[in-house]
Copies of this chain bind each other. A is one copy, B any other.
Amino acid sequence: MGQDSYKVVEGGSVTTPKGFRAGGLHCGLKKTTRHDLGAIVCEVPAAAAGVYTTNIFQAAPLKVTRESIGSGGALRAVLVNSGNANACTGEQGEADAYEMRSRFAEAIGVSADHVAVASTGVIGENLKMDKVRAGIDGLPGKLDGGLVGAEDFCQAILTTDLVQKMVCVELELDGERVSVAGAAKGSGMIHPNMATMLGFVTTDAKIGSDALQTLLRQATDLTFNMITVDGDTSTNDMLVAMASGLAGNRELTPEHENWAAFAAALRYVCEVLAKAIARDGEGATKLVEVRVRGAQSDESAQAIAKTVIGSSLVKSAVFGADANWGRIIAAVGRAGQPVDPATVDIRIGDIVTLEQSRPVPFDEDAALEYLKGDTVVIRVDLNMAGGEATAWGCDLTYDYVRINAAYRT
């Protein structure tokens, strides 16, 4: 159905879908006065799905959230703190994550296994639970069904992200207006820490937990799993989706005639958030998009796109506005994928730099001008088969080094 099946809701947020309220406050985990504890709450049990980091060292909240979603596929709320990742914190860390869950469940009057928890921030330090408890007790009073609540929530999940990231789209299903919205935080560093991606999707569509899980996984593979800031995978990455079912559509299943339309809307929400995370990568000055086509398969194109977007040399060249196609082809060649070394085309923006693997003279001034922009698109065509993929990342800058070299004080 394509993009016509949904449209962006200006000013929409995670509270736009029916049934959701959100909020945030400062409980004292961050040294600044920015919010550091937030929640999204649904007035009914929402069908829920989650995807989690593949890192072997998974933080305590991931275990707890998996349990909640696993116990019946429904959530009433997700509670998030920033300023402390509750990772590598042992048994105390697990106990703290469970306590966050049960205390917030009690505060809003739902059962504990209807609450998911997420954390981001410093790792290896136990949570200051006195502050967390006080925050949890105050949070229900801050919940709001409008943009204020959503923005408070968005602020509460940020670490050193520079901008809040949210999006909302709507589409019609069975004559009913259905909204799909999302909020995310990206790769910010807070002492001593790593990049953490947290994403939250709300929708009022009626859809079962398993179906939602299927669509969330598909969308993630094509969006959040196609971005890279520095190749590191956090202990805390988590994406949770909640569907209130209050829109009034018939339940979405693969047989529903609008299944693909809803999938496209969900994917779009995830893509907007993923690109926002890439653009706001640590120290980034621009969004870089790598489109690969003509590959042996989509998976092969994905691997190549991710290798190019992850190359420190390509990222540095983009920062320097250098149309350095040599680094692009070198990355293509080391991706471990089938590539015909004689048939590769490379374009930077619309500028052809390599055709059938041979350099093409190009206008360096035009390339420089293009690369100075805030979005850079690199196209690689392998001219072999029909596989294609798109990946997103950012440039590698002095500020990346400055941010990450900072001593933890």
- Chain B residue at minimal CB-CB distance from A358: B90
Is the contact region of chain A dominated by helix, strand, or loop, or is it mixed? loop
CB-contact partner of A359 in B54, B88, B332, under 8 A: B88
Residues of chain B within 8 A (CB-CB) of A322 are 192, 405-408
- A331 contact set on B, CB distance < 8 A: 232
Residues of B within 8 A of A319 (CB): 401, 405
Chain B residue nearest to A55 (CB atoms) is B333
CA gap between A91 and B401 in the complex, in Å: 41
Q: Which chain A residues in 378-406 approach chain B with CB under 8 Å?
A: 396-398, 400-406
A339 to B, closest residue via Cβ: B56
| Residue A128, interface by CB 8 Å | no
CB distance from A376 to the nearest CB of B (A): 13
Q: Which one, B57, B192, B234, B404, contacts A312 given CB within 8 A?
A: B404
Query: What's the Cα separation between A354 and B339 when bound, in Å?
Result: 43
A233 (CB) vs chain B CBs: closest residue: B334
Indicate whether A240 reaches chain B with its CB closer than 8 angstroms. no
Does B234 contact A405, Cβ atoms closer than 8 Å? no
Knowing A333-B235, A398-B402 touch, does A327 contact B56 (C-beta < 8 A)?
no
Q: Is A366 an interface residue (CB 8 A)?
A: no
In the complex, A192 Cα to B353 Cα: how many Å?
Answer: 13
- Taking CB atoms and an 8 Å cut-off, the chain A residues in 52-90 that contact chain B are 54-58, 87-88, 90
Complex-state Cα separation, A217 to B354, whole angstroms? 34
Name, among A316, A321, A400, the residue most crowded by chain B CB atoms within 10 Å (CB to CB): A316
With A312-B230, A313-B232, A334-B233 as given contacts, are A326 and B193 in contact (CB-CB < 8 Å)? yes
Asked whether, in the complex, the Cβ of B235 is within 8 Å of the Cβ of A320, the reply is: no
Are A54 and B334 closer than 8 Å at their CB atoms? Answer: yes
Whether A231 contacts B311 in the complex (CB less than 8 A), given A57-B333, A329-B88, A358-B90, comes out as yes
Q: Can you name 10 extra interface pairs (CB under 8 A) apart from A232-B331, A232-B334, A321-B407?
A: A56-B334, A57-B341, A88-B359, A124-B326, A234-B330, A312-B312, A312-B400, A316-B400, A320-B404, A396-B405
12 CB contacts below 8 A, A to B, read A57-B333, A88-B329, A90-B357, A232-B313, A232-B330, A232-B334, A316-B404, A317-B404, A319-B405, A322-B405, A322-B407, A396-B401
